[in-house]
Structure 1
Amino acid sequence: MRDLLYLCHRIPYPPDKGDKIRAFHMIEHLRKRFRVHLGCFIDDPADAVHLPALRSRLASLACIPLDPGRARLRALRRCRPGTPLLTGYFHDDRLVDWVCRTAHDHAIDQVVAYSVAMAPYAVLLPETPRILDMVDIDSEKFAAYGRTSSWPKSLVWAREGRTLLRFERSAVRQFDRTLFVSAAERDHFSALAPESTASTIAIGNGVDLDYFTPASSFARPYPADRKIILFTGAMDYRPNIEAVIWFVTAVLGQLRAQNPLFVIVGSNPAPVVRALERGGEVRVTGRVPDTRPYLAHADLVVAPLMIGRGVQNKVLEAMAMARPVLATPAAFTGITADPGRDLLVAATPVDWARHAIAVLAGDHPEMGARARAAVLRHHSWAQTLAPLDALLSPGPQSARSTEQVSL
């Protein structure tokens, strides 16, 4: 077997949130052909308990502790004109040393960097073929924050959007191929960086169809006499926070005749999310050991994201569990399914309320089964990751720049 170096900005285990899910399943796919050496950061001490299970899957592992508070200070100290804060946030000499030692001790045949933040570590191996999985366009997320935040945060986010886009364009030139999670993300980046078009490819997200299956039996975690509307996601992540606030303030009041309970399931709920709990209408659980019981017994799963990059795993997981899903256009991007048949897509509060009322009234009895069938057809991990194999086959690599993104 050949040796592959995989670099990731966050420990990809357990696969219970967006970036961890894609990275974990990509590593599992790569393990079939490579001895995988993983270098990553761990920013949640609670994840340390999972290190033995992760290490057992790998040829070697470096999991560097990252304290978010100290990382923010480091980002400010390392900030220079024209450079994004992101590069300083994820700079760590310990990971630099580990990458260099690993390259010295093993015949690394390929490098995969997950997220643009890990690009500077990948280019430490200048002669090795390398792939960058950008997933989505981080700079666009920060640019959106700049447009929607109040001063002075708007200035900080707008600057990050501008400087990070320049960094992304520079990074892509130094990789043989760059992956995006959807054709829409790839095409959008090509419009922003036309020089990248020939080297970019879309490789979508999948869902673990054996794990997320309606065939499993779970105890009901809800009151027996209530219709349940469910949202899942990390609740310290700004797009998720804004999504649930929008749903509660703009939509939920229109559903009172149906007397639903809106349940928000996800780790680290921000204070503004906790403040949504009121009068038996909204319940915030915090982290749960398993989201499947909550999905299995939900009458409707919602994804009201206004800022949505890439493919939403929360939507794929709910569809795999054969639940009716109501999503915004941003949350539907990159998902191969038929709106109105396999799931519902709406943009305005009025349309959201209309669709939610219809589902709670039982007007879409076949939608859950159709949702499951859609992800079976289009979103298994084996299907979505198959194009990766050709990219990692031995052979000539595409031309790339000899400049280096700086550490």
Structure 2
Amino acid sequence: MANLLYLVHRLPYPPNKGDKVRSYHLLRHLQKEHRVFLGTFIDDPADEEHLPALKAMCPDLHVARLHPLWARLRSLGGLIQHGPLTLAYYRNAALHEWVRQTAAMHGISASVVFSSAMVPYAMPLVPRVPMLVDFVDVDSAKWSQYAQQRRWPLSWVYAREGRELLAYERMAAQRAQRSFFVTPQETDLFLRLAPEAQGRVQAVGNGVDADFFRPQPSTPRPFAPGETAVVFTGAMDYWPNVDAVSWFVADMLPALRQRHPGLRFYIVGRSPTPAVQALAGEGVVVTGTVADVRPYLQHASAVVAPLRVARGIQNKILEAMAMGRPVVTVPACAEVIGASADDGLLRASDPAATVDAVDQLLRDPLGAALRGEMARRFVLNHFSWQAQLAAMDASLNAVLQPEKRHA
């Protein structure tokens, strides 16, 4: 057993949104063999109630409070300097000091860093403490993609962040013993942007807790009797999700409601922005935070994920498939998962194709149920967390071997 430093940009509990799902399961995976010292931020007051549970799970814990408004102002001050605004957003002197003291007092053998934002906290320990970085996605490419979707001056700010963050990602990958991305596609993209990282990066995919996300016949239906419910799930203060539901409501929902007058679109997820709340109406329900997303998935007539701006594997798709529901999504999201229509993942590249795919599921409930069964089988066969995260073990063991030899 080694002492590991694990640095995460957002409290990895509860696992109720994409990045927190992965960071939580990585924490539990590391704890199976090692003592883990967790340094993290809390950026949502609602997460405060979960701190006792996380403390019980990981006693060696340091939590830094992050106030999003002040963090944004601090990061914008970085426009007059070189470097990514992301790093300024997550700058915290107390967390730096905790890392320094923890490394000095507890003989930290290696650091595992979740996202590029946390690399500055581990970097001062390199090379004495080897560093592994789970970038998850190529975040710099995300900002560059945002720049293409927004008007000036945000387009300029986002383009700058894409350039500056890529330079930092490349430096971090050079200093790290090993770096990871969530899909082979993200890995290949990073290697095209950072060819010097060849041989130093690999893909480690996401999983899904198929025991938790499984159909339960006794689960009450959360929809009105006779209602045809099309469901989207996700954190609704995340811009790609906001864009997805806005696009669906504007360009797809009217045609679907013409064909199915009783259809309602359910937007299920925490912290809906004013733009999302404004979508609510006769054909749209915005739930906000729900105690349990599973009933909405299980009883959905169809699940959609029309994400025009998306990086990596979408947990929302895996969770719906694990619940035995077929999903209609864009080709980019389906490609990284690797499932076909026969596996319950239908691809639709434009609004007309999305309308037709959803319509097909609604008109053939028995066929949709069969596709849902195949979707769950696909997830069980390909997306267990244990199998996915075990790919990190070889890299971690390699950096720990010198210590073992000198023990």
Q: Do the aligned partners of 2:325 and 2:344 also contact (CA within 8 Å) in 1?
A: no
Change in CA separation of 1:80 and 1:166 when aligned onto 2, cut-off 3 Å: farther
Give the Cα–Cα distance (whole angstroms) in 2 for the partners of residues 206 and 282 of structure 1.
30
* 3-state secondary structure, aligned to 1:154: helix
Matches for 1:182-197 after TM superposition, within 5 Å: 182-197=183-198
1:79/1:99 CA distance change after superposition, 3 Å: farther
CA distance in 2, matches of 1:176, 1:152: 38
In structure 1, distance between residues paired with 2:101 and 2:217? 45
Cα offsets for 1:193-235 (capped at 9, x unmatched): 0001210010000000110011463111111111110000011
Q: Which letter does structure 2 place at the counterpart of 1:111?
A: S
* Matched residues, number: 397
* 1:388 maps to 2:392: yes
Structure 2 Cα separation of the partners of residues 192 and 296 of structure 1 = 40
Of the candidates 297, 301, 304, which is equivalent to residue 302 of structure 1?
304
Alpha-carbon distance between aligned partners in 1 of 2:331 and 2:111, rounded to the nearest angstrom? 34
Deviates more, 1:124-133 or 1:305-314: 124-133
**Separation of aligned partners in 2, 1:364 and 1:102:** 53
Q: After superposition, where does 1:80-95 map in structure 2 within 5 Å? A: 80-95=80-95
Give the equivalent residue in structure 2 for 1:402. Answer: none
Matched position secondary structure for 1:366: helix
**Deviation digits for residues 321-376 of structure 1 (CA, Å, limit 9, x no counterpart):** 00111011232242132234421011111111111100011143310000000000
Residue 393 of structure 1 aligns to a residue whose secondary structure is helix
**1:45-104 deviation digits (Å, cap 9, x = unpaired):** 110111111111224000100000111121123444431111100110010000011111
More helix by share: 2
C-alpha displacement at 1:169, in angstroms?
A: 0.7
- Greater shift in the superposed pair: 339-348 or 227-236: 339-348
Structure 1: distance between partners of 2:226 and 2:115: 44
Q: Distance in 1 between matches of 2:373 and 2:95?
A: 46
1:268 paired with 2:271, answer yes
Aligned to 1:405: none
Q: 1:396 to 1:66 in 2, by over 3 A?
A: closer
Residues of 2 paired with 1:194 and 1:73: CA distance? 34
Q: Where does 1:136-151 land on structure 2 (aligned, <5 Å)?
A: 136-151=137-152
Which blocks of at least 5 consecutive residues in structure 1 are unaligned? 399-407
Contact 1:336-1:374 at 8 Å conserved across structures: no
CA contact (8 A) 2:134 2:181 kept: yes
Pairwise CA distance, 1:306: 0.3
1:35-50 mapped onto 2 (5 Å cutoff):
35-50=35-50
Paired residues of 2:112 and 2:134 also in contact (CA < 8 A): yes
Alpha-carbon distance in structure 1 between the residues aligned to 2:136 and 2:18: 11
Distance 2:193 2:338 in 1: 24
Q: Distance in 2 between matches of 1:29 and 1:110?
A: 15
Matched AA of 1:62: H
CA drift of 1:148 comes to 1.1
1: CA distance, partners of 2:241 / 2:401: 39
Quick one: distance in 2 between partners of 1:186 and 1:216? 40
Partner amino acid for 1:39? G
Give the corresponding residue for 1:378: 382
SS in 2 for 1:262: strand
Residue of structure 2 in register with 1:56 after alignment: 56
Larger mean CA deviation between 34-43 and 57-66 belongs to 57-66
Name 1:288's counterpart in structure 2. Answer: 290
Structure 2 unaligned residues grouped into runs of 5+? 403-407
> What's the secondary structure of 1:248's corresponding residue?
helix
1:68 equivalent in structure 2: 68
2:330–2:348 Cα contact (<8 Å) kept? yes
Indicate the percent of aligned positions where both proteins have the same amino acid. 47
Helix, strand or coil at the partner of 1:334: helix
In structure 2, distance between residues paired with 1:29 and 1:183: 21
Q: Report the residue type matching 1:189 in the other structure.
A: F
* Other-structure match for 1:165: 166
Distance in 2 between residues matched to 1:252 and 1:77, nearest whole Å: 41
Instruction: Check conservation: 1:208, 1:380, Cα contact below 8 A.
Output: yes
Distance in 1, matches of 2:5 and 2:341, equals 39
TM-score computed with the length of structure 2 as normaliser: 0.95
How many Å apart are 1:392 and its aligned residue? 1.2
Structure 1 counterpart SS, 2:15: coil
1:273 and 1:17 mapped to 2: Cα distance?
Answer: 17
CA distance in 1, matches of 2:217, 2:83: 49
Distance across 2 between alignment mates of 1:396 and 1:101: 21
Q: 1:16–1:396: structure 2 CA closer, same or farther, 3 Å change rule?
A: closer
* 1:207 is aligned to 2:208: yes
Distance 2:71 2:134 in 1: 23
1:199-278 alignment runs, 5 A limit: 199-215=200-216, 217-256=218-257, 257-259=259-261, 260-278=263-281
Q: Structure 2: which amino acid aligns with 1:92?
A: N
Measured in 2, the distance between the counterparts of 1:78 and 1:356 equals 45
> How far apart are 1:396 and its partner, in Å?
7.7
| Corresponding residue number in structure 2 for 1:14 | 14
From 302, 318, 321, give the equivalent of 1:319: 321
What per-residue deviation string (whole Å, max 9, x for no partner) do you get for residues 83-126 of structure 1? 11111001100100000111111111121000000011111212
Letter aligned with residue 148 of structure 1 = Q
Q: Which moved more, 1:159-168 or 1:325-334?
A: 325-334
**Aligned-residue offset at 1:386:** 1.3
Aligned to 2:178: 177
Change (3 A) 1:95 1:395: closer
Q: Which moved more, 1:203-212 or 1:124-133?
A: 124-133
| CA gap 1:216/1:384 in 2 versus in 1, 3 angstroms | farther
